[in-house]
Amino acid sequence: MRRKGIKRKVYGEEESLLNMERFRRNADSAELTVGEFELFFYESMVDRKRLEWVVVDHLAKHQAIPDIHKLLELKEVEDELLKGFCVIKHGDSWFSIPISDRQSRDVTVPETEATVTGQRLAFNENLQINLNLLRNTVRSKDLVIEQWEIGTASPRSVCMAYIEGKAQAGTVQQIKERIQAFDIEYLEGSSHLEQLLNKRTYSVFPSMLHTERVDRVTAQLLAGRIALFVDGNPFVLTAPHRFIENLQSPEDYQMNWLMGSALRLLRITSFFIGFVLTPFYVAIVTFHYLVIPPELMVLLAESRSQVPFTPMVEALLMEVAIELLRETGSRLPERVGQTVGIVGGIVIGQAAVTAGLTSNILLIVVALSMLATLVLPFQLSNSVRILRFPLLFAAGVFGGLGVMIGMFLIVTYLCRLKHFEEPYFSPQGALLPERLLDSAIRAPFQKMMKKEGS
């Protein structure tokens, strides 16, 4: 094999057009001559065994090479090299052979959406593996997959999958037009894609469902949704997205409908607890302490007797401390993060109570609020964590009235919110029994199948 620095060839005008100097100055670039054929490739990106067995051996024996295709334009050479392909020059003709060796994780169980029962297949960073998992699960002749290269500086593949006849043609066309209109240098991942597709740039609520579960994407496609895959990212986006989908889990369908419905109601309750528990505590202690039972009022007074702050300031300090602990635990290595989260929470909480910076009851309230947000998906829990602070300010200034006005504004906004022309609160907006069979509760399969067949 001849490395780039040992011997160089001059290709005249073609060399200037191809700009092979940019290729040669890379440490992992390589050139190889086999008879009258000249091979160019990046050593770090090709499969060495396939290079020897498929390319070099066939060229030496003058045999046809499988999967070879001719490059019609000279500018395609650099693009093929960057994909990990081997480019062959024969006379004035150029050819490309896909022999890239792309490293990726094996198919594993879902990490962010773990369940006790049900399918345990998760997508990974390899787009072809993800499409393979999808094709093996959705065995439908109507499944359509379209692909684009996004990014001018570093192109990245984006795939859109949908079932023709189930997905809304208008939504498919709308997403396609938005993707084709992108003019960016680099697409970082699925979250970046979601933000580019979302016209509501100031909305804190997730506009698409993020999932790494194969079975969940399958269910979404069969329900008429559209799935978006980004090469190099294990999370798949589905659209249009509804609010209630954040509170549903694939495990709901693996158990009795009563238990599945109970767990959904628990998640809905957790959503409201995460929003209003701490603000209501601040409002009651500050303005509405007369509603507190006398026995509890005595305990509360004793707990707050040494606290120098107002309830609002006290709650804000504890919420900020909890957020710092959560972020610290998520950024550190797994074992260290768990230790810091547990020990830090106990030590800081106990020290704060002993020093008189907070009360025992508020510590319990903040901990319950944090546990409630952990029940929710990551994207929705972030929305709750952000909006909790304005509600705290409203509770400290206006009391319970401020909390109720804040919740009214949030619910009103959610009712008006639309993504790809579909209401965010659908199907709760139209209180029709047949449309609520799989929303806040999960009806028996017999009723849902009857509704689908009608």
For 308-338, write each residue's pLDDT tens digit. Answer: 888 899 899 888 888 888 887 777 776 666 6
Q: What is the mean pLDDT of residues 65-76?
A: 82
Q: Do the beta carbons of residue 120 and residue 109 sit within 8 Å?
A: yes
Please give the Cα distance from 160 to 227 (Å, whole number): 6
| Beta-carbon contacts of residue 350 (< 8 Å; ≥ 6 apart) | none
Question: What pLDDT does residue 339 have?
Answer: 65
C-alpha 183 chain-centroid distance: 22
Question: What pLDDT does residue 147 have?
Answer: 93
* pLDDT for 10 beyond 60: no
Please report the DSSP string for 151-206 in residue order: -SSB-EEEEEEEETTTS-HHHHHHHHHHHHT---SB---HHHHHHHH-S-TT--S-
pTM: 0.82
Which amino acid is present at 35? G
* pLDDT for 5 beyond 70: no
Three-state DSSP at 358 gives coil
* pLDDT for 94 beyond 70: yes
In the chain, what percentage of residues exceed pLDDT 70?
89
* pLDDT for 6 beyond 50: no
Count of C-beta atoms within a 10 Å radius of residue 407 = 17
Question: What pLDDT does residue 1 have?
Answer: 41
Please give the Cα distance from 421 to 171 (Å, whole number): 8
Residue 275 sits at φ, ψ, to 5 deg, of -75, -55
Highest mean pLDDT among 11-15, 208-212, 355-359: 208-212
Mean residue pLDDT across the chain: 84
Sign, CA torsion 45/155/125/160: negative
| Look-up of token digits 């960016």 | 184
Q: What is the mean pLDDT of residues 179-201?
A: 89
Strand duo 86-90 + 93-97: pairing? antiparallel
Q: What is the mean pLDDT of residues 18-42?
A: 83
Which amino acid is present at 441? I
* pLDDT for 238 beyond 70: yes
* pLDDT for 280 beyond 90: yes
* Least confidently predicted of 150-154, 156-160, 274-278, 387-391: 150-154
Which amino acid is present at 73? E
Strand duo 143-150 + 418-419: pairing? unpaired
* pLDDT for 80 beyond 50: yes
pLDDT band at 69 (very low <50, low <70, confident <90, very high): confident
Instruction: For residue 301, give both structure tokens.
Output: 């007074």
Instruction: Express each pLDDT in 403-430 by its tens digit.
Output: 999 999 999 998 888 888 888 887 665 5
Please give the Cα distance from 385 to 371 (Å, whole number): 12
